[in-house]
């Protein structure tokens, strides 16, 4: 049996990944998570205790990380500060966790000779024009825009340097925007869904023509597992599912699926430095590893996600008010 150490496993994608691994493999999983405002232990409910353990702690705690890495065959690194708007109000934890935390893990995996998979984002490439015929590929130059994306870019470069300089057995994946269950209500889709469910009007930044390339978190999970099991050491793989949609289209779909008029939302101040468009060319992942997404109908996946938020109010309601207060302080 393979023993995985999953950092950030109480977060959105990390928890989806842990459920995916337990369902689809015979691996055992230990989650290391600091349970920041973004972590929720309830997202890990129902896992079999003979194959799953939770450790509350930080990836910056070198001693703790060493003892956990020593007992693992591979590390899958999701833990990060992840919200662009928060990185604009206070970049500091982004540097600590995304750069120094990743550094701690890299040094430990180097010393212990343990396989490392680094989970990253397409935001490291900056943005595309709406009419650009090209999409991001593994050779697109890095050009991040925000404190969040620049710290993720920096962490990717650390991984590449540890591969080249120290021969670390590592892979990197850069994925597009995820949606699905267990996503924090600060993020675009859950914010709008839970706004409507709370009697608050959805909020669209700027003109809303910005495009994001949506992928279901379970498809991201199967792709990370494919890279972990079959990816070539030292390589980067882009993960995407051909899901480009404008924010305006998504907000209108959310309203329609919840039975409200499609125009029952507010335009609010734009995000400073707001990236216009992300789009992933997943050819390498598909051709080399034979990976395919399961959720190919975005509107059906969105409807199922909305249903999940309707059915799981106790999961998100405790965080809703504080999240909206943070947004109010930013006039968004
Ligand atoms: P999230 O914010 O939902 O979860 C992050 C998790 O990391 C939380 O459980 C938090 O408690 C934990 N964490 C934060 N700091 C920590 C620390 N110092 N030590 C241990 N745990 C800590 O994030 P997410 O959206 O699930 O993203 C997970 C990863 O995937 C991130 O690396 C992110 O950059 C990447 N990613 C996200 C998306 C997306 O659309 N959300 C897309 C591509 C890549
Ligand atoms: O209320 C909102 N209104 C709005 O119009 C919010 C919260 C967002 N938006 C817009 C901004 C973006 O164009 O929606 C889009 C998506 O916003 P976010 O959910 O904040 O995601 P984004 O900034 O695209 O980054 C996400 O995808 C890549 C994740 O948060 C990152 O962690 C990941 O790396």
In contact, 162 and 170? CB cutoff 8 Å: yes
Q: Which ligand number lies closest to the CA of residue 119? A: 1
Angle between helices 298-311 and 188-197 (to 10 degrees): 50
**Closest alpha carbon to 21 in 45, 52, 54:** 52
pLDDT exceeds 80 at position 1: no
What integer pLDDT is reported at residue 277 of this predicted model?
98
Tell whether ligand 2 has an atom less than 6 A from the beta carbon of residue 203.
yes
In contact, 238 and 122? CB cutoff 8 Å: yes
d(CA 317, CA 332): 20
For residue range 93-126, list pLDDT tens digits in order: 999 999 999 999 999 999 999 999 999 999 999 9
d(CA 262, CA 283): 35
What integer pLDDT is reported at residue 47 of this predicted model?
98
Exposed e or buried b per residue across 149-177, where buried means at least 16 C-beta atoms within 10 angstroms of its C-beta = bbbbbbbbebbbebbeeeebbbbbbbbbb
Mean pLDDT of 256-273: 97
Consecutive H or E run containing 6:
strand 3-7
**Closest alpha carbon to 201 in 147, 148, 250, 255:** 255
Is residue 86 classed as helix, strand or coil in its secondary structure? helix
Which tokens belong to 288?
A: 């080399």
d(CA 330, CA 332): 5
User: Which DSSP letter does residue 294 get?
Assistant: S
Tell whether ligand 2 has an atom less than 6 A from the beta carbon of residue 174.
no
Ligand 1, pocket residues at CB < 6 Å: 7-8, 10-14, 32-36, 38-39, 58-60, 78-80, 82, 97, 101, 119-121, 152, 175, 177-178, 184
pLDDT exceeds 90 at position 4: yes
Average pLDDT, the chain: 98
pLDDT exceeds 90 at position 321: yes
Percent of the residues in the chain that have a pLDDT greater than 70, as a whole number: 100
Q: Which domains does the chain have, with CATH numbers?
A: 3-179+214-239 (3.40.50.720)
Exposed e or buried b per residue across 71-94, where buried means at least 16 C-beta atoms within 10 angstroms of its C-beta = ebebbbbbbbbbbbbbbeeebeeb
CA of 264 to the centre of ligand 1 (A): 31
Mean pLDDT of 123-137: 98
d(CA 172, CA 141): 15
What integer pLDDT is reported at residue 330 of this predicted model?
87
pLDDT exceeds 90 at position 226: yes
What integer pLDDT is reported at residue 127 of this predicted model?
98
Q: Could you tell which of 7, 8, 154 is best to mutate to test the pocket of ligand 1, judged by most ligand atoms within 8 Å of the CB?
A: 8
ipTM: 0.99
CA of 111 to the centre of ligand 2 (A): 37
In contact, 184 and 190? CB cutoff 8 Å: yes
d(CA 43, CA 184): 11
Closest atom, ligand 2, to C-alpha of 187: 19
pTM of the predicted model as reported, rounded to 2 decimal places? 0.99
pLDDT exceeds 80 at position 132: yes
User: Which DSSP letter does residue 132 get?
Assistant: -
pLDDT exceeds 80 at position 21: yes
What integer pLDDT is reported at residue 324 of this predicted model?
97
CA of 97 to the centre of ligand 1 (A): 10
Tell whether ligand 2 has an atom less than 6 A from the beta carbon of residue 212.
yes
Bridge-based pairing of strands 170-175 and 236-239 is parallel
For residue range 205-222, list pLDDT tens digits in order: 999 999 999 999 999 999
In contact, 249 and 256? CB cutoff 8 Å: no
Tell whether ligand 2 has an atom less than 6 A from the beta carbon of residue 191.
yes
CA-to-CA dists, residue 148 to 60, 85, 151, 216, angstroms: 18, 9, 5, 21
For residue range 229-263, list pLDDT tens digits in order: 999 999 999 999 999 999 999 999 999 999 999 99
In contact, 170 and 159? CB cutoff 8 Å: yes
């Amino acid at each position: 049996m393979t023993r995985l150490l999953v950092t950030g496993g109480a977060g959105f994608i990390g928890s989806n990944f842990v459920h995916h691994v337990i369902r689809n493999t015979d691996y055992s999983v230990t989650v290391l998570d600091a349970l920041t405002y973004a972590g929720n232990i309830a997202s890990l409910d129902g896992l079999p205790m003979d194959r799953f353990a939770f450790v509350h702690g930080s990836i910056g705690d070198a001693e703790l990380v060493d003892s956990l890495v020593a007992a693992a065959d591979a590390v899958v690194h999701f833990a990060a500060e992840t919200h662009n708007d928060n990185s604009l109000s206070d970049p500091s934890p982004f540097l600590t966790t995304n750069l120094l935390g990743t550094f701690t893990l890299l040094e430990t995996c180097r010393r212990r000779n343990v396989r490392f998979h680094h989970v990253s984002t397409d935001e490291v490439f900056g943005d595309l024009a709406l009419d650009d015929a090209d999409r991001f590929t593994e050779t697109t130059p890095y050009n991040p825009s925000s404190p969040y994306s620049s710290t993720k870019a920096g962490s990717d470069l650390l991984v590449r340097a540890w591969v080249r300089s120290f021969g670390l057995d590592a892979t990197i994946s850069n994925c597009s925007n995820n949606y699905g269950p267990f996503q924090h209500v600060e993020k675009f889709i859950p914010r709008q869904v839970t706004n409507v469910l709370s009697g608050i009007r959805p909020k669209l930044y700027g003109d809303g023509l910005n495009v994001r390339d949506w992928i279901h978190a379970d498809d991201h999970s199967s792709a990370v597992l494919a890279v972990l099991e079959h990816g070539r050491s030292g390589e980067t793989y882009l993960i995407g599912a051909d899901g480009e949609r404008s924010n305006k289209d998504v907000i209108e779909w959310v309203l329609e699926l919840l039975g409200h008029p499609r125009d029952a939302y507010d335009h609010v101040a734009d995000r400073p430095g707001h990236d216009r468009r992300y789009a992933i060319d997943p050819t390498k992942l598909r051709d080399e590893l034979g990976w395919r997404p399961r959720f190919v109908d975005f509107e059906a996946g969105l409807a199922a996600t909305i249903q999940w938020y309707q059915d799981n109010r106790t999961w998100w309601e405790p965080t809703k008010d504080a999240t909206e207060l943070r947004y109010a302080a930013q006039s968004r």
